[in-house]
Amino acid sequence: MKLMKIIPAKAKAKKWTAYFMLDNGKEKAVSFGSKGMRDYILMNDKNSKFYEPDKEKREKVKAAYRARHAKDKIDQPLTPGSLSWHVLWDLPTFAGSIKKFKNKFKL
């Protein structure tokens, strides 16, 4: 399996869509992230309306998100919950989070 790209979602209520090439040669699209809601990346982006200058507050919000979603299927890369957990709520940058996601799941 290979992560081909992550682009803005066409789905009205979602932020992103990840495209995977499965081992059988088929493509799978997984949309994730609720449009209009904050995430850890946006809270770290000074140009975002969700920017939070206080690092302690950002970490508190991240911990609360992770506590709420601890039972999601975060160890299965093809789930919206896993993509949100690892891409939107892990590192402060999109590029860094994607790189870590790809390494974790050997994509």
Q: What is the mean pLDDT of residues 34-47?
A: 96
Tell me what the mean pLDDT of segment 60-71 comes to.
96
CA atoms within 13 A on the CB side of 47: 1
pLDDT band at 24 (very low <50, low <70, confident <90, very high): very high
Q: What is the mean pLDDT of residues 35-47?
A: 96
Q: What pTM, to 2 d.p., does this model score?
A: 0.93
pLDDT band for position 62 (cuts 50, 70, 90): very high
Q: What strands, in cross-sheet order, belong to the sheet with 27-34?
A: 2-8, 14-21, 27-34
Rounded to whole angstroms, the Cα distance separating 102 from 107 reads: 5
Q: Which residues contact 100 (CB under 8 A, 6 or more apart)?
A: 86, 90, 91
Whole-number Å distance between alpha carbons of 23 and 81? 21
Amino acid 86 reads: H
pLDDT band at 86 (very low <50, low <70, confident <90, very high): very high
